[in-house]
């Protein structure tokens, strides 16, 4: 596939694949793109759009696209190879609303049992609605006072207290108007003020906990800033005040001119050195903060950073709380333009995690006895451990320990007798259900490759420029590539390019329905392939 196939054709000639200003008839046979090139170009454009990329390339990276480093590396990046617990701020912001819904229902149910002699679920619908509406006034008061706009760094309990007081007054007023009898009105009058006090205490305790977690960086995104510039300094100062972002380090290719640190954040080395840094997988995103006039340098940096699966943002260097526009987002209250990658869909990630835990636990329980039998057979067949452990690349290039049943002899020998059977039908992969439960893998996703894997004595990134983008999601026990015939090792550049293409195709189309289809097809394909071997 040629590089010209990646260029976006003009509107008039896109379908025909002809150069501008020349008709299709004027082209010689050798110049006409074949159907394969047209389909490849269309697929690349669709996938690049799904990934939020300005261009996608399955060919080896060109030397002209690489960032030229004019000075040697004279500094080192910090030894940050692990990150602590991390909870997205949007998820943390749901804690109080969810707790309040439970407390509102409990208050309504208590008032119903006291005033009407039955549970809220046992009463007629109209009567139950009265009790619930009066209790719901407490939550309405919190909405009106904007108590659900958490500022983890600056806890203000007066908003919650004021909102609950307003809600209690509104609830008592509704109880006088809507309650069917004096006993129901009396029960609501006693329960609502008590519920307001309980909710105020819950709000105070929860916000204190959230504030403490915020100070520990639990809700902070981690990022690396490119460029020791004045814009970077302003971004770091704002991040240190708000706590919304934790800057791990700065990278600058002109490190000889850059200061040793910016606001206490080390200027650790070049962009190339950052790509080789063990702590890079810890970062959630990379922010490019180069001067606006340095367009050539910025383009070279962005092209180099596309070798990582991280989201890459270009700092626009002006403050905003509400910024709209294609590709424009806010980070730390500052406008950024996304030039590679898109934010993870929390709803999709949460749904996938629920499916992984639920279905993974069911499969682990159902296959426990067969797995014990396999473990016993391995132990009796050849001496050595039952499980094989290997470091593999996962989400965002983070490494984890993958588990498999041992199928090879100790000391680099060939497959054992039981091992050959296990590999033939893919049964050696069953212990990876433990990796799924632990959160390192999903049931469906690109197969994880070994850290340091090479294809034809070359690193995968040197064979396929877009290789790192397969790590934008968690790896899986099975995947789109596996059900399309791309199983086993990738020993040739052509095999690696096909595997990456199928993996990127899955990531661009990922959905629960597609995952279910892949899981349903996997056993049949494994059985069919096993019988052929």
* Helix (H), strand (E), coil (C) string for 107-129: HHHHHHHHHHCCCCCCCCHHHHH
Mean pLDDT value across residues 26-48:
63
Q: Give dist(CA 475, CA 400) in Å, integer.
A: 11
Tell me what pLDDT residue 18 has. Answer: 43
**Residue 465 DSSP label:** T
Q: What is the pLDDT of residue 516?
A: 92
The Cα 325–Cα 316 span in angstroms is 13
Q: Which pLDDT score, from 0 to 100, does residue 156 have?
A: 67
Q: Which residue has the higher pLDDT, 38 or 153?
A: 38
Q: Give me the domains of the chain, ranges plus CATH numbers.
A: 3-18+27-51 (no CATH), 89-215 (no CATH), 221-343 (3.40.50.720), 347-532 (no CATH)
**Is 499 in a helix, a strand, or coil?**
helix
What mean pLDDT is predicted for residues 150-178?
Answer: 82
pLDDT above 50 (res 10): no
- Amino acid 100: pLDDT: 92
Q: Looking at residue 168, what is its pLDDT?
A: 92
Dihedral angle, C-alpha 265, 268, 273, 278, nearest 10 °? -60
Instruction: Return the higher-pLDDT residue of 193 and 383.
Output: 193
Contacts of 203 (CB under 8 A, 6+ apart): 96, 147, 157, 160, 164
pLDDT in tens, 353-373: 999 999 999 999 999 999 999
The confidence score (pLDDT) of residue 49 equals 64
pLDDT of residue 70: 43
For the chain, what is the mean pLDDT? 80
Reference 245, options 287, 203, 281; nearest CA is 287
Per the CB < 8 A criterion, the answer to whether 102 and 135 are in contact is: no
pTM above the 0.75 mark? no
Q: How far is Cα 528 from Cα 355, in angstroms, rounded to an integer? A: 26
Calculate mean pLDDT across residues 309-318. Answer: 81
């Amino acid at each position: 596939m040629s590089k010209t196939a990646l260029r976006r054709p003009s509107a008039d000639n896109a379908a025909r694949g002809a150069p501008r200003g020349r008709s299709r008839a004027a082209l010689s046979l050798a110049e006409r793109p074949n159907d394969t090139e047209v389909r490849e170009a269309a697929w690349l454009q669709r996938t690049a759009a799904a990934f939020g990329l300005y261009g996608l390339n399955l060919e080896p990276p060109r030397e002209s696209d690489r960032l030229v480093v004019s000075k040697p590396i004279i500094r080192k990046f910090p030894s940050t190879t692990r990150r602590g617990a991390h909870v997205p701020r949007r998820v943390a912001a749901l804690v109080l609303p969810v707790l309040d819904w439970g407390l509102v229902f409990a208050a309504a149910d208590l008032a119903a049992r006291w005033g009407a002699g039955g549970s809220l679920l046992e009463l007629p619908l109209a009567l139950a609605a009265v009790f619930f509406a009066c209790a719901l006034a407490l939550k309405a008061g919190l909405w009106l006072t904007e108590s659900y706009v958490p500022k983890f760094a600056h806890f203000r309990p007066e908003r919650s207290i004021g909102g609950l007081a307003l809600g209690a007054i509104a609830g008592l007023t509704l109880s006088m108007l809507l309650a069917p009898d004096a006993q129901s009105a009396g029960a609501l009058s006693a329960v609502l003020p008590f519920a307001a006090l309980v909710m105020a205490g819950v709000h105070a305790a929860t916000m204190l906990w959230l504030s403490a977690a915020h100070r520990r960086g639990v809700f902070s995104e981690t990022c690396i800033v490119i460029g020791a510039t004045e814009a970077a300094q302003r971004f770091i100062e704002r991040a240190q005040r708000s706590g919304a972002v934790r800057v791990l380090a700065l990278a600058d290719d002109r490190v000889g001119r850059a200061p040793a640190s910016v606001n206490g954040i080390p200027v650790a080395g070049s962009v190339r050195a950052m790509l080789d840094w063990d702590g890079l997988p810890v970062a959630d995103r990379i922010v490019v903060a180069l001067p606006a006039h340095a367009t050539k340098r910025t383009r070279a940096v962005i092209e180099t950073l596309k070798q990582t699966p991280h989201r890459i943002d270009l700092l626009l260097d002006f403050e905003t709380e509400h910024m709209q526009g294609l590709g424009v987002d806010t980070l730390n209250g500052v406008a950024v333009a996304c030039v590679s990658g898109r934010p993870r869909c929390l709803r999709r990630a949460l749904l996938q995690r629920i499916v992984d835990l639920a279905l993974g636990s069911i499969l682990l329980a159902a296959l426990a006895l067969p797995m014990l039998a396999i473990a016993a057979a391995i132990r009796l067949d050849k001496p050595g451990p039952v499980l094989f452990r290997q470091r593999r690349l996962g989400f965002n290039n983070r490494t984890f320990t993958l588990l498999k049943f041992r199928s090879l002899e100790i000391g680099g020998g060939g497959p054992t007798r039981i091992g050959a059977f296990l590999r033939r039908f893919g049964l050696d992969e069953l212990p990876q259900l433990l990796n799924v439960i632990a959160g390192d893998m999903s049931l469906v996703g690109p197969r994880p490759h070994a850290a340091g894997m090479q294809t034809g004595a070359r690193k995968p990134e040197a064979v396929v420029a877009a290789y790192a983008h397969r790590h934008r999601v968690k790896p899986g026990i099975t995947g789109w590539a596996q059900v399309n015939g791309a199983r086993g090792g990738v020993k040739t550049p052509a095999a690696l390019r096909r595997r990456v293409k199928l993996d990127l195709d899955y990531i661009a189309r990922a959905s629960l329905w597609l995952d279910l289809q892949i899981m349903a097809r996997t056993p049949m394909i494994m059985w069919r392939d096993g019988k052929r071997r």
